[in-house]
Amino acid sequence: MSDCTIKHDCKNCTTRNTTEWRDLGAKELAILAKAKTSRTFEPGEIIFNQGTQAKGVHCIQSGLIGMRRISEDGKSVLIRLCAGGTTVGYGAFLSKTQQLNSAEVLTPSVVCFIQGSTVSSLLSDNPKIGERFLQHAIADQTKTETDHFMNLTKNVRFKLLHVLLTYYERDGYQDSTGLSTLELPILRRELAELVNAQPETLSRALRELQDEGLLTQDSKQFSFPDMKAITDEIRAF
């Protein structure tokens, strides 16, 4: 792990308003800023491992983190992607259980670690924080149920378009020609895991979309020549 501790100002953090820490007052922000540690991480580094005890929570300031879980037969499965403005590891900390997943850095990232004693103190002094964590947990559970429903009722093409559009809305951009573009730094096998499909089935869906002119792919970069057609197709389902 890199030893790249940095200074990061919680008060002026650009992603704090999307986190559980949005309701902190000036005094509480000062406590948080003093107690937390911020550092940069490079792709491939592990923030925490599955099966370890949570000593606090991690707040992603920028970058992209992959949550992975190792099955009993040793297979690593990508569960979800987490970007800036997401607090990870909170479930294990609040429930006093071991981490269900490992957190692996996928792109250069800045992540803040907040010690458990500080989290507990802030939770005790400001009930709003607890409400935010509860909302986060409910949102995670809702997503899990929605994903399970889609796996049972939708085809691979729809699930692929849904995943790509979801991440485009969060991290996508328009290139110099105005083309809608998304950088997704994961392997095709991992993309298949996100849509709960076999890699060969995913490959067929990708070829189909490219043949129809809805998608182009260059390594880990996806471009969408006709975004309206994609959104119309998703709505039609």
H or E element: which one contains 146?
A: helix 127-153
**Domain 5-140 part of CATH 3.50.30.30:** no
Sheet holding 76-83, edge to edge: 46-48, 102-105, 64-70, 76-83
- pLDDT score of 6: 67
Distance separating the N- and C-terminal Cα atoms of the chain: 44
CB-based contact 102:46 (threshold 8 Å) = yes
Between CA 43 and CA 108 the distance in angstroms is: 6
Q: What is the pLDDT of residues 185-234, one digit of tens each?
A: 999 999 999 999 999 999 999 999 999 999 999 989 999 999 999 999 98
* Domain boundaries, given as residue ranges, for the chain: 5-140, 153-236
pTM assigned to the model: 0.83
Give the right CATH number for 153-236 from 3.40.366.10, 1.10.580.10, 1.10.10.10, 3.30.70.141.
1.10.10.10
pLDDT digits (tens, 9 = 90+) for 13-37: 888 888 999 999 999 999 998 889 9
